[in-house]
Structure 1
Amino acid sequence: MLVPTPAWDDPAKRRVWAVRAASERDVDDLLNLLAYHLTTKGRQRSRTSISTYRLYGLAVRDWIAWAWPPGAEGPRVPLLKATEDDVDRWLAELLDQGGHLSEGSKPLTPSTAAAYLAGLRALYRALVWAGAIDRNPALEVRAPRDPTPRNERRPALAYPLYIRLLEHLSGDGAQEVRDRAAIRLMGDAGLRVAEVEALDVGDVDLGEQLVIVRAGKGGKRRSVPMTRALTAALVAWLGVRRAHAVPGEEALFVNLGGRKAKGRRLRAYSIRRFLDRYYRELGFPERYRGAHTLRHLAGTRFYQASGDIHAVAALLGHADVSTSAIYAKMDRSRLRELVSRLDG
């Protein structure tokens, strides 16, 4: 039977709806509850990023697939009676075997498993708030820690490889022009991939040579100066974009294909997809895969140019300047210079 989506702001109904959703394995309504709670009660509230919603949603779906496998007559772990031991077992399987949404998935890294745990904690916080349970079973579970330093887990893309990547996209086809501009926003200006997705045409100020990030991590706004090369890449893309964007579309980057998505906002997962394809085509080492290596490259270049982590924090939108200190560790050129002196 189809049931309408509940109004979670009704105290008289939310407990009934939450208990029903958990008891009937209604994944959509549980995710609806999670989103409502994040938006109205979470630390960031309405400024919660799209990437957080997506990651937490994936974590909740995986947890439910583990606790109540699809096709099973009933749950092996009732969602409203889960314990800390159950959450620990789920995390152990994520780290040893991988996710539970599809067969053949790779074991999760400790940092990704920790993010999944954060998503599960958020779900059970919402269920406690709704009155469906009294205690959050994931609250006291310890998140796995990765012994590998952060700067080694996701290093900055080496600058010579960045140049090779841009040369690989030196043509004047629409896709090359678009992707080159998007890549420069990450590699030159240090934008996160979600920030690139969220950019509108009006966020590019060519006169002032600024990119306005209106909703960075934590909902923070910042203005980032553009390099001449980035400005030229955006001018080229804006000239091409007119022929591909649907009327009324405000997004800076749009899809160039696809029956439904053509001419509409290009999503972060599509950016990650074409980046991974280019990295494979160029034979880049596995450690450099992913969009965040470009942001790390920008942070490293900012630090090399200034030696000022406060300036790096402002450009990258870090709330805590200590976060920016990682780019001093990522500055491999200085490490190589120090080591080369040993040969003298």
Structure 2
Amino acid sequence: MLDQFFRRRRVRRRIQRNLLAEALTALADHLGRRGHPEVVLQSYMQAAEHFGYWLRRKGFAAADVNAGTVRTFLVRHLPHCHCPPPHPRAIPLVRAALHQLVLVVHARDPAPQELSLTPLDAITGGFDAHLRTTCGLAVATRRAYGHHVRELLVARYGAGPIDLAALTLADVTAFVAARGARLAPASANAITLAVRSFLRYLRLQGIGDARWVAAVPRAAQWSLATLPRVLTDAELSAFLAAFDRATATGRRGYALALCFTELAMRVGEVARLALEDIDWRAGVLTLAPGKTRRASQLPLPASVAAALADYLQHGRPTTTSRVIFVHHRAPRGQPLGPSGMREDVRRAYRRAGLDARLTGTHVLRHTAATRMLRAGVSLKEIADVLGHRSLDTSAIYAKVDRSALTEVALPWPEGQP
């Protein structure tokens, strides 16, 4: 594998003399399989070489490649480095390269050492397991809850020992109030939900008081009090036109954008979409259980089917993955996650001149629901498409149908005889 990317014998010899020679050879193979361009692979290898050179100078062994030594190298050595070239100095590039090196080293270790968990990690890990097995929450929700709970414990205990029995209601309410004061009501209430869930978890452990859950403050937020942001017809046309369908990534972006704007799918649902989920003959799309924890089916419009077929036939890289939307660069052929899809949408917003007020994908879901309502689709049918269990959740879209609201609005009573 080294011969494929490093044609000069002296470079290959230099790599083979490095403290991490075996790991570097495995790293080159790993990066090649991931589909990294040759110039990127060589930069990553130079960064890993530099790290191996530093390890030897500091008296470390090859077995000492871990997150701790990488952090020390990045923070203490790299900003003040005077090592002989060649090696990249850009910290983001070096961090990415060493992240891949750590993955390779741990994968090659036949008996990997167990990482020692801090008390904070143990508590949040137990809470996450409870959210997964008992509550059945999605990965993104569990991650957000864990983040807020970790902040709560750090705010209360700092770097000292964590005694959960010493946690008081005053500690909890002070944390929620302080964090919520800087946030919009919806974001503040997300912290409240996470903390209340954690307090319920502690009650299962015999810690705290059941009455604390209701005492955690919640920001005032009235149902149907706000309007969902939606794209106008002109903005939607500009957004869809921002994808260059002459390119493979443009075909991918256009197809996934139609999943948002025509089918009102959530970003997680689009990311999980697999080849077997599409029944081309029946024109039906099956969504795997996600946020709603139940499978559902959607009609497949001709425009969406055509965009998906165009991407699959003329844009999608060769891959063994069954997921429809995949990476076109390293890791080439691997499933494209929600963050990659959001980035595709954000780039299209910028090209369409909409990035000043739009950032995420949910506005496209709102736009799809609003367009359905304007086309005469009932709220019940919209709720079914969106996966809402309650009509009240979908009722918000009735407020943005201005033409329908105009028809039912009564004239203001002026002077009556």
Name the amino acid aligned to 1:206.
W
Could you list the per-position Cα deviations for residues 83-121 of structure 1 after superposition, in whole angstroms to 9, with x for gaps in the alignment?
33222222232233xxxxxxxxxx432112211221222
Structure-1 separation of matches of 2:374 and 2:169: 46
User: Which residue in the other structure is 2:171 paired with?
Assistant: 86
Structure-2 separation of matches of 1:255 and 1:62: 33
Name the amino acid aligned to 1:277.
R
Distance 1:134 1:25, change over 3 A: farther
Structure-1 separation of matches of 2:407 and 2:243: 31
> Is 1:233 aligned with 2:307?
yes
Name the amino acid aligned to 2:195.
L
Structure-1 separation of matches of 2:245 and 2:377: 35
Name the amino acid aligned to 1:263.
G
> Is 1:300 aligned with 2:370?
yes
SS in 2 for 1:306: coil
Distance 1:158 1:151, change over 3 A: farther
Name the amino acid aligned to 1:257.
R
Structure-2 separation of matches of 1:145 and 1:277: 34
The answer as to whether partners of 1:313 and 1:324 remain within 8 angstroms in 2 is yes
Larger Rg: 2
SS in 2 for 1:30: helix
User: Which residue in the other structure is 1:255 paired with?
Assistant: 327
User: Which residue in the other structure is 1:125 paired with?
Assistant: 200
The answer as to whether partners of 1:188 and 1:226 remain within 8 angstroms in 2 is no
Distance 1:118 1:175, change over 3 A: same
| Pairwise CA distance, 1:135 | 4.6
**Aligned positions of 1:104-119 closer than 5 A:** 107-119=182-194
The answer as to whether partners of 1:50 and 1:194 remain within 8 angstroms in 2 is no
Structure-2 separation of matches of 1:65 and 1:257: 38
Range that drifts further, 31-40 or 125-134 = 125-134
| Pairwise CA distance, 1:206 | 1.9
Could you list the per-position Cα deviations for residues 151-199 of structure 1 after superposition, in whole angstroms to 9, with x for gaps in the alignment?
42x4122232111111010332121111111111111001111111222
Structure-2 separation of matches of 1:95 and 1:108: 5
The answer as to whether partners of 1:175 and 1:256 remain within 8 angstroms in 2 is yes
The answer as to whether partners of 1:59 and 1:117 remain within 8 angstroms in 2 is no
Distance 1:146 1:139, change over 3 A: closer
Structure 2: gaps (5+ residues): 1-116, 413-417
The answer as to whether partners of 1:157 and 1:288 remain within 8 angstroms in 2 is no
Structure-1 separation of matches of 2:165 and 2:311: 51
SS in 2 for 1:224: strand
Structure-2 separation of matches of 1:241 and 1:84: 56
Name the amino acid aligned to 1:218.
T
User: Which residue in the other structure is 1:327 paired with?
Assistant: 397
Among residues 124, 127, 146, which one is paired with 1:57 in the alignment?
Answer: 146
Structure-2 separation of matches of 1:142 and 1:31: 22
User: Which residue in the other structure is 1:34 paired with?
Assistant: 127
**Aligned positions of 1:132-147 closer than 5 A:** 132-133=207-208, 135=210, 137-146=212-221
Structure-2 separation of matches of 1:62 and 1:277: 32
Name the amino acid aligned to 2:252.
R
Among residues 261, 271, 280, which one is paired with 1:187 in the alignment?
Answer: 261
Distance 1:199 1:85, change over 3 A: same
Structure-2 separation of matches of 1:283 and 1:94: 33
| Pairwise CA distance, 1:219 | 0.5
Could you list the per-position Cα deviations for residues 15-55 of structure 1 after superposition, in whole angstroms to 9, with x for gaps in the alignment?
xxxxxxxxx9533322321232123322xx3xx32222222
What is the CA RMSD across the aligned residues, in angstroms?
2.8
Could you list the per-position Cα deviations for residues 67-86 of structure 1 after superposition, in whole angstroms to 9, with x for gaps in the alignment?
344xx4457xx544323322
Among residues 350, 354, 359, which one is paired with 1:280 in the alignment?
Answer: 350
The answer as to whether partners of 2:177 and 2:217 remain within 8 angstroms in 1 is no
Name the structure, 1 or 2, with higher relative contact order (CA <8 Å, separation 6+).
1
Name the amino acid aligned to 1:266.
L
The answer as to whether partners of 2:287 and 2:297 remain within 8 angstroms in 1 is yes
**Aligned positions of 1:40-51 closer than 5 A:** 40-42=133-135, 45=136, 48-51=137-140
SS in 1 for 2:187: helix
Could you list the per-position Cα deviations for residues 187-238 of structure 1 after superposition, in whole angstroms to 9, with x for gaps in the alignment?
1001111111222121122222222112142212211112221111111121
Distance 1:244 1:58, change over 3 A: farther
Distance 1:171 1:242, change over 3 A: closer
Could you list the per-position Cα deviations for residues 133-156 of structure 1 after superposition, in whole angstroms to 9, with x for gaps in the alignment?
55574442132124695542x412
SS in 2 for 1:288: coil
Name the amino acid aligned to 1:40.
T
The answer as to whether partners of 1:49 and 1:218 remain within 8 angstroms in 2 is no
Range that drifts further, 231-240 or 292-301 = 231-240
Could you list the per-position Cα deviations for residues 293-344 of structure 1 after superposition, in whole angstroms to 9, with x for gaps in the alignment?
11111111121122411111111111111211111112245457889x99xx
The answer as to whether partners of 1:303 and 1:328 remain within 8 angstroms in 2 is yes
- Provide the TM-score with structure 2 as the length reference: 0.63
Distance 1:181 1:147, change over 3 A: same
Structure-2 separation of matches of 1:294 and 1:326: 15
Structure-2 separation of matches of 1:337 and 1:126: 50
